[in-house]
């Protein structure tokens, strides 16, 4: 039974609801995209029920909102499941409440589709249409099994040319892992990181200081998403 004190929406000096959701997401080390998605669905849920506080609502209101998404919004099944996950996170992780069993939700239908899988020859034919940095990225994405943001966040120190491996840091679930460095990736990448091969005499820049190549913390593909 919820007491009147618990149904109070916000009190001065206490963090607001969405701020509590963000804090809990970061405690759980959820990705920033997940945090934005969850806060967006929770905001839509509150607005749909005329800005009532979630503590004043329960399974009936959650079911009505999810049904509205499927019937009126015509959302995909994955979208409805994401909204449900956001509301479960709100009630269980943030409010420490359980709204019970959802029995009368109209579920969005998930169409059956056959997966489209490229052969290795077809995949390489597509990658060969890329040029420059995008070709390097496509080659490593396909050969090393990286996600797009993992590839964009690679740094010089994450590459091991001797062992032909890449260290992916803070990947999905905030976990590190090691994957393959594509052999065809090595020589073009060396030319990208170190355009000038080392000589017997150390090269120097216009200030007279020694040039030792890029810093280990330098992003490999910084700015690629915004370039045309």
Q: Is the pLDDT of residue 125 over 50?
A: yes
List, for residues 141-194, the tens digit of each pLDDT value.
998 889 888 888 888 888 888 888 999 988 877 788 999 888 887 887 777 666
Assign domain 17-94 to its CATH architecture: Orthogonal Bundle (1.10)
Report the alpha-carbon distance of residue 120 to residue 161 in Å, rounded.
24
What residues does each domain of the chain span?
17-94, 120-221
Instruction: Give 24: exposed, middle or buried? Use CB within 10 Å, 0-12, 13-18, 19+.
Output: middle
Give 192-206 pLDDT, tens digit per residue. Answer: 666 555 444 443 333
How many CB atoms sit inside 10 A of residue 203's CB?
Answer: 12
């Amino acid at each position: 039974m919820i007491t009147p004190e618990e149904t109070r929406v916000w009190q001065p000096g206490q963090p607001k609801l969405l701020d509590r959701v963000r804090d809990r997401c970061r405690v759980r080390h959820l990705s920033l995209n997940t945090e934005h998605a969850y806060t967006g669905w929770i905001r839509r849920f509150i607005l749909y029920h005329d800005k009532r506080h979630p503590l004043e609502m329960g399974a009936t209101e959650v079911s009505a909102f999810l049904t509205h998404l499927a019937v009126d919004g015509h959302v995909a099944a994955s979208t409805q499941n994401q909204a449900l996950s956001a509301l479960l996170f709100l009630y269980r992780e943030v409010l420490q409440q359980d709204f019970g069993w959802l029995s009368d939700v109209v579920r969005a239908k998930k169409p059956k589709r056959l997966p489209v899988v490229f052969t290795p020859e077809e995949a390489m034919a597509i990658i060969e249409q890329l040029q420059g940095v995008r070709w390097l990225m496509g080659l490593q994405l396909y050969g090393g099994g990286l996600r797009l943001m993992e590839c964009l966040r690679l740094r010089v120190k994450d590459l091991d040319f001797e062992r032909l491996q890449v260290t992916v840091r803070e990947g999905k679930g905030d976990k590190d892992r090691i994957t393959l460095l594509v052999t065809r990736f090595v020589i073009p990448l060396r030319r990208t990181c170190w355009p000038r091969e080392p000589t017997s005499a150390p090269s120097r820049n216009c200030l007279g200081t020694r040039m030792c190549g890029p810093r280990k913390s330098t992003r490999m593909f910084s700015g690629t998403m915004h370039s045309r």
